[in-house]
Structure 1
Amino acid sequence: MIDRAPAVGFMDSGVGGLAVWREFVRLIPNAPTLYVADQAHVPYGPRSLEEIRRFAGAITRFMLDQGARLIVVASHTISAAALWPLREAFPEVPFVGIEPAVKPAVAQTRTGVIGVLGTFGTLNGPLMARVVERFARGVRVVPRVCSGWVEQVEAGLLEGEAAEALVRQHLDPVLQMGADVLVLACTHYTFLAPLIRRLIGPERALIDPTPAVARRAAEIWQARARGEELNQAEGAIHRFFTTDDPARFQEQLQRLIGRDGPVERLYWDPHEMWLTLSS
């Protein structure tokens, strides 16, 4: 393995994890980062556990080869499917994952009904079941698989009549069931948060866990930086990778978080067990 500069790695199927990346860089702007968007396989939500774990393992190996010392699984779907397998497969690597923010939602509800908006993979997995069992006793949890929202965000459809119609399709049934607190259980949905807040009004709360995940990653990175004297010079390098079209991801970076890139292209091998960087 080539000796690379230490960095923080972020993984997602697409642009959703940029919401966590943005918050992390705001907290620690001088920490070098790597961001891998597996847009060749987006969305991950309908995929099997085995597929997601295979993709996540390959992304992890690539990021470690590129110098990652901390890996942020900036996706509810990947965390639900692969966080514990990743920790078992790479015991020397600290991973920060993300889970549905049911606990704070339960603390805030007045009606006793909370809505959790996510993908099929997140809401129907064991992680969601454990979170509900631990924190939601006495509270009704309304899970809603928001099919199409990931693709909507990837396409940049965040405002306007068409965007509102797509969001209402999944939002209105949850509100009609009495939910007064909504949880975003997909990092892609963070980019729909302004629209969702406008539609639900001030009388209802919306919980976005991405800032908390970024804070946890920042705490771990700062502790490792102190212990290992990691280089955090001014003008940190941020590298972005996609397994699809770099030009498209470049446009998404600019539109969603105001970054210029550049973006590097990754390729899956024929068996989808390894990632290679284009020359």
Structure 2
Amino acid sequence: MTPRTASLAPFIPRDGERHCVGVFDSGLGGLSVLRVLSSTLAGVRWLYAADSGHAPYGERSATHVLDRSDRITRFLRDQGARVVVLACNTATAVAIDALRARHRDLSFVGMEPGLKPALQHSARARVGVMATEATLRSPRFEALLSRWKGEAEVVCVPCPGLAQAIESGDPEAPAVRALVARYTAPLRAQAVDTVVLGCTHYPWVAPLIQEALGPAVHLIDTAQAVAAQTARVLSDPNALADESGCLPVQAYTSGDTRTLQQFAQRHLPALDWHVARLPV
């Protein structure tokens, strides 16, 4: 599903000024989205907030997720962001409508499980969704699911603990592998041929998920659609132009700064990382 954005005038930077885009997630998962954003959009000053001290959002109450999303949005706005990407399916499901109502001076891009592209790709009309419990029980996801009801059999698998295990910083740790094996088992049993990665942490373990499901199963990650929507929000013909050099990222975390620094430098080495504590 293509993420929606607020219907307001796009932010156009002054001559010589970079676009400033804030990206946030409950932790390291949103870096899988920033990886695609930064490789797709040039001339952007990136801000990234990893709320690892409150991760995972998928196992938090809706009230807590909304409060943290609002605090981080205010912080990113104060740092200069005029576009905010919710690189978290749970935060999008729980908070994006309220954020749009509260912060009308900002444009928002959110994440939703890619049911539409999954249904289009599935040859047998058997689709799996791996997501957090909070995403799957949210009214937003239920509405999305009902929109495509009857088009295919959709097998939803809540994955408690998987995002938190990935937060350890080692996507190939034995605990991660064990959880992937557990949560892919019902998808294999239902013979799905397409699986939606409904949490931005999960692309970091996509090779393990692919290995468990087999090479014939197609994985759907909506990060590319989010990058395309962000480019539309920026409405800058130069946003997709090539730009040489190492793009700077000012990153913040409510968790351990060294974990974020090491994970980011390992998986997104093309970016120039500056990591500090998230003060909200």
Same fold (TM over 0.5): yes
Counterpart residue number, 1:169: 182
1:233 CA drift (Å): 10
Paired letter, 2:45 = P
Q: How far apart, in 1, do the equivalents of 2:255 and 2:204 lie?
A: 21
Counterpart residue number, 1:272: none
Counterpart residue number, 1:256: 267
Counterpart residue number, 2:257: 246
Paired letter, 1:115 = G
Q: Any idea what SS the aligned residue of 2:100 has?
A: helix
Structure 2: tracts of 5 or more residues without a match: 1-16
Could you tell me whether the CA contact under 8 Å between 1:32 and 1:236 is conserved in 2?
Answer: yes
Q: Count how many residue pairs are aligned between Structure 1 and Structure 2.
A: 260
Runs of 4+ in 1 over 4 A off after TM superposition: 232-236
Q: 1:217 aligns with which of 204, 207, 230?
A: 230
Could you tell me whether the CA contact under 8 Å between 1:10 and 1:73 is conserved in 2?
Answer: yes
Moved more, 199-208 or 115-124: 199-208
Counterpart residue number, 1:229: none
2:278 corresponds to 1:266: yes
1:48 CA drift (Å): 1.2
Counterpart residue number, 1:202: 215
Q: How far apart, in 2, do the equivalents of 1:160 and 1:93 lie?
A: 39
Q: Closer, same or farther in 2 for the Cα pair 1:249/1:175, shift >3 Å?
A: same
1:234 CA drift (Å): 6.6
Could you tell me whether the CA contact under 8 Å between 2:65 and 2:95 is conserved in 1?
Answer: yes
Could you tell me whether the CA contact under 8 Å between 1:6 and 1:67 is conserved in 2?
Answer: no
* TM-score where L is the length of structure 1: 0.86
Q: How far apart, in 2, do the equivalents of 1:10 and 1:105 lie?
A: 25
Counterpart residue number, 2:115: 102
Q: Any idea what SS the aligned residue of 1:21 has?
A: helix
1:6-52 deviation line (CA, Å, top 9, x unaligned)? 51000101011111111111012321010001111011111111111
Q: Closer, same or farther in 2 for the Cα pair 1:62/1:263, shift >3 Å?
A: same
Q: How far apart, in 1, do the equivalents of 2:167 and 2:268 lie?
A: 13
Q: Closer, same or farther in 2 for the Cα pair 1:233/1:148, shift >3 Å?
A: same
Counterpart residue number, 1:270: none
Aligned sequence identity (%): 36
Counterpart residue number, 1:87: 100
Q: Any idea what SS the aligned residue of 1:98 has?
A: coil
Q: How far apart, in 2, do the equivalents of 1:37 and 1:120 lie?
A: 20
Could you tell me whether the CA contact under 8 Å between 2:246 and 2:272 is conserved in 1?
Answer: no
Paired letter, 2:273 = G
Q: How far apart, in 1, do the equivalents of 2:273 and 2:94 lie?
A: 29
Paired letter, 1:68 = A
1:92 CA drift (Å): 2.1
Q: How far apart, in 2, do the equivalents of 1:253 and 1:236 lie?
A: 13
Q: How far apart, in 1, do the equivalents of 2:84 and 2:174 lie?
A: 37
Q: How far apart, in 1, do the equivalents of 2:272 and 2:60 lie?
A: 31
2:196 corresponds to 1:179: no
Q: What does 1:1-279 align with in structure 2 at a 5 Å threshold?
A: 6-159=19-172, 162-221=175-234, 223=235, 236-258=247-269, 259=271, 261-267=273-279, 275=280
* TM-score where L is the length of structure 2: 0.86
1:243 CA drift (Å): 1.1
Q: Closer, same or farther in 2 for the Cα pair 1:165/1:205, shift >3 Å?
A: same
Moved more, 161-170 or 56-65: 161-170
Could you tell me whether the CA contact under 8 Å between 2:19 and 2:43 is conserved in 1?
Answer: no
Q: Closer, same or farther in 2 for the Cα pair 1:125/1:233, shift >3 Å?
A: same
Could you tell me whether the CA contact under 8 Å between 1:102 and 1:136 is conserved in 2?
Answer: no
